[in-house]
Amino acid sequence: MDFVGIGEATKMLGLSRTSIQKLVDSGKLPAVKTNGGHRRILRSSIEALNQKMGHKAMLRLASSQPGSLQHLSDLHSDQEQIQVLIVEDDEPTASLLVALFETHYPDIKCTVASDGLDAVLQLERVRPRILITDLNMEPFDGFRLLSMVFSRTEYQGISTIVMSGLSDTEIQQRGGLPSEVLFLQKPISMERLRGFLDAHVQLHRHYRAFA
């Protein structure tokens, strides 16, 4: 993955260091922190945000007061497909899910992340309606990912499914799961998963029909 520092990001976006820092602090530009405390931003995230919003919109967003930042979800309101982010380091499981969506759900577009850190970088780019994640992943596991997602106001509209081979006891010992999460024990019950997906697709079609 190609990361850049704050200085290079200012040149790419044409914004001040302060504006870039505000975008990072608000979560609009996902970044990771090095051991030395420096911020590093994924180059493709910068390019995607620049293409999606444009300079003026980003400048307004960066200059907004904390707590009043406009969610970016409205930028995706006219999309024809439901965005789904799959976070799974087991390739056969990820392939099985992608095949399910491609075969039965033309309304759904999938993006696959290999671990929690990859998912953090994908979240802002994809802005998924549904997040499907495993728990046991290295080096950034599903527990850390869920903690981050549920602590951010801009991600509160995401519906979340957790798939794991961990028992309820093991999950509780590691801090448990948010009450809003749908938990599917591995091996996955495809009937429960499809029921969840069917409901979201029907709602999506309903709102599109009356939009």
pLDDT 10s digits, 162-173: 999 999 999 999
pLDDT, residue 72, reads 35
Measured in whole angstroms, the distance separating CA 180 from the mean position of its chain's CA atoms is 16
Here the tokens at position 19 are 């504006």
Q: Pick out the chain residues at pLDDT < 70.
A: 1-2, 26-29, 35-37, 48-80, 206-211
Q: Phi and psi (nearest 5°) for 57?
A: -65, -40
pLDDT at 113: 92
Residue 117 is predicted with a pLDDT of 87
Model confidence pTM above 0.85:
no
Name 21's bridge partners: none
Give all domains of the chain, ordered by start, each with its CATH number: 3-63 (1.10.1660), 76-209 (3.40.50.2300)
Q: What is the pLDDT of residue 208?
A: 61
